[in-house]
Chains A and B, each alone.
Chain A
Amino acid sequence: MNNFIKSREFWLGAAILGIIFGVSLRAPNFVNFANLADIFNNTSMLIILALGQMVVILTRSIDLSMASNLALSGMIVALINAAYPEIPVPVLMIIATFCGLLMGAFNGILVWKLNIPAIVVTLGTLTIFRGTIFLIAGGQWVNAAELSTGFVQMTRHLFIGLPLLSWFAIVIAIGFFIFMTRTSSGRNLYAIGVNPTASVYAGINVGRTKFNSFCIAGALSGFCGFLWVSRYVIGSVEVANGYELTIIAACVIGGISIAGGVGSVVGTILGALFLGIINSALPVINISPFWQMAISGSAIILAVILNGRSANKKGRIILKTSEDSS
C-alpha cells in the first residue's frame, strides 16, 4: 500500500483527477460520462502509440519515425480505399498494420544487424517515410469525398456506449498489460533495458528483442494510421506531423525512463490521458489553445525531474567495508 502511494501511477492518477475536479469548478458540465468518454476517445490513438513507443524505450532505443509511419500507412490505405472502395474495411486494417510492421522491421533490422543507434536510424526513416507519402500520392490529398462510408464509419460505431476507436485502445491496453507483466517476452524487454550485458548471459537475444520491439511499435503505428484516416477523414503528407515528440512526451510523463528498463503500461496510459485531459480542458476554462504547447512542455520537464528523483534511490550496502567489519 505504501509503495502504491509513492508510485508514479498514483500521483499521475491524482493529478488527472485534480485537473478534472478543478475544471469542473469552472465548467460543471465538463464532468459527465459523454464528455469524459469523448476525451478518452480523442486520446485513444495517443495511448496505442505511446504503448508502442514504451516497448522501444524500455529496450534503451527510441523510435522517432512513428508519426511518419502512421501517416504513410494511413495514406496507403486511404489511396487503396479511394481506388477500390469494394475492398472490405477489415482488410484495409490488416494492410495498414502490415505496412507499419514492415516499416518497423526496417528500423529494427538497421538497429539489430548494423548496430546503428536507434535515434539516427529513426531520424532518417522519419523523413524517408514522410517523403514517400508525397511520392505515392503525387502531392495530392485524399479527402472525405473519396473515402468510402464504411471506412469513415468504422471508428464511429458505438459498442456498449463507446465508439469502436475507444474499444481498440482498451483491448490493446489490456493486451499490453498481460504481455508486459505475464509473459517472458515482455519481461525480457525490461531485462535488456536494465542490463543488456547480464541479459546476454541470461540467454536473451538482445538484438532480436530490440528488433521485435521496433516491429511492435511499427505495427501499432500502422494500425493507428488506419484509425487516423478513418477518424479524421483525411490522408495527406501533413498527417500527424511532429506527433512523434507528443508520443515520447506521453511516455516520459507516464514515468518511462529514457535510460531504459523502467516504466509500466498503466503509467504510460495515464501519461497519454494526462496530455489528453489538458488539451481538452484548456478551451473549457477559456484558456487560449496557444497555451497548450507551453503547458505540455512544462509537464514534460516536471515529469523528467520527478523521474530523476525516484531514480536517485540510495544504493544498498551489501558488503561491509573493512573498517566497518573490524
Chain B
Amino acid sequence: MSAAAENAPGEAKVIPIESAPSWNEPDGPTLPDRLAGAVGGALSGQLGPAATKLFGKGWEGRATERLAFLRRRLTGDYEVDEFGFDRELTEEVLLSLLRPLAEKYFRIDVQGVENIPAEGGALIVANHSGTLPLDALMTQVVIHDHHPHRRHLRMLAADLVFVLPGVNELARKAGHTLACNEDAQALLERGEIVGVWPEGFKGIGKPFAERYKLQRFGRGGFVSSALRAKVPIVPCSIVGAEETYPMIGNVKTLARLLGLPYVPITPTFPWLGPLGVLPLPTKWTIRFGEPIATDGYPAEAADDPMLVFDLADEVRETIQRTLYELLVQRRSVFF
C-alpha cells in the first residue's frame, strides 16, 4: 500500500493527503485546491508565456499582490478605525474607482495642494454644488493623489448619507462621518484632514441660475471645531462641479414624499432615464487657498459667537473671491 503510494505520484494522491487529515469537513480535494492545481498546471505549461504576452512583464508580481489583498479581505485580516474608515479598501478599491472620473472625465486641475499641511490636523472648507456630492468625492481623490504625503480627507457628511442603506456603509468605509461637532472635533484632534461643505443642501441643491453664488455657511460650527482643535482652516474653491448636473427644476412634492431634500430636474434627468445620471464632462479646477491659522486665539474663542461668525465670513469671502477669479480665467465650461 505504501509502496503503491510512493510509486504513483500524482495530484490525485497527493492533494487528498494534504487536505484530508487536518480538516474535519468533507474529505477529498476541495474546490479551491482543485482550482489551484488546475491554474498551476496551466501556467507552467502553455499558458505562462501567453499570459506574459497578454498582461506584460511582471504580471506575476502584481497578481501575487492582488492575491495577498484578496486573502486579507476574505479572512477579515484588515483594520478599520473607530469611525469605520477602511484604509486598505479606500486606497485599493474606492479611490481607484473614482480616479478615472477625476483624471480623465473631469480632468481636474489641482492648485495649491501645498497649502494642506504635511502632518497634523487641518480643516478644509469648500463650496458645494452639483446636485450629487461629486465635488466632495473628487476633492478626496485629488488630495490623496496630489498631496506629497498621500493624505486622506475625512469628510463630514449630511445625516441623510448615514440613513440610506448601502450609501452609509460605503461612506463610513471611505472615511466619512456625520457632520456634528463631536466627530469633527475627534478627527481634528487625531491629526486628520477634515473636509466640510458648510453650505450643505442649500449649496448642492441650488438652482442652476444661482451657480457659484455661495449660500449661507450654516452656524459656523466648523469654525468652532477648528478653534477648539487649534488647526488651520484651508479654504477650497471648486469650479466645474456646478455644471455637471445643471438643476433647472425641483420636484418638491416627490422630494417631500421620499424624505429627500430635493429631486432634481436637469436637461438630461429624468428624460434620458439612467443615462441622465451621467454627469456632464465639465473641466474642473480645485484650488486650495492660503491656510487661515486659528492657534493664535485664546481657548475660549470657540464660544465667542462674534469671532466665530467673523472667521466664517472670512473663509466664505475667500472662497467666493477665488471662485470669481477662477471663473474669469476659465476658457470654457468643457475645456
- Is B truly associated with A? no
